[in-house]
Copies of this chain bind each other. A is one copy, B any other.
Amino acid sequence: MKAILLVAHGSRRQASNDEVLALAGQLRDTARKNGIGIIHAAFLDMAQPSITEGVGACVRDGASSVTVLPYFLNSGRHVTRDIPAALEEAGKLYPQLSITIGAHLGESGLIKELLIRMIENC
């Protein structure tokens, strides 16, 4: 079964982490409609579940492949280095699992469109 793991930075402010967990829940139906039976969220730092725990949750739910969506706006070190490194570690625990890292959120042209709308409302 296919899974998506939405990976955010994580915050000391739990309300911020809850936003990410809620978002993953809201995307469940969309995922299922696209043949992806599992979706979980995880955090790079400062919050639980960790990336390894998030990958583990996907495996427990029956995932054979996981696509990781980095919930980040820019291609800083977290996206280019820290998330790949954490996934490499997690992958060692599940050598049968296929793990793919998708584009981070900021790569989408929609971000600029979103900012244009915000400016129009300034």
Contact = CB atoms under 8 A, between A and B. Distances in A.
A120 B19 contact: no
Query: Within the oligomer, what is the number of copies of this chain?
Result: 2
A48 to B, nearest CB: 15
B31 A74 contact: no
A11 interface: yes
B77 A27 contact: no
B12 A76 contact: yes
Contacts of A16: 74-77, 79
A24 to B, nearest CB: 9
A76 B11 contact: yes
B118 A102 contact: yes
Contacts of A34: 119-120, 122
Interface in A6-65: 6, 8-9, 11-13, 15-17, 19-20, 23, 26-27, 30-31, 34, 36
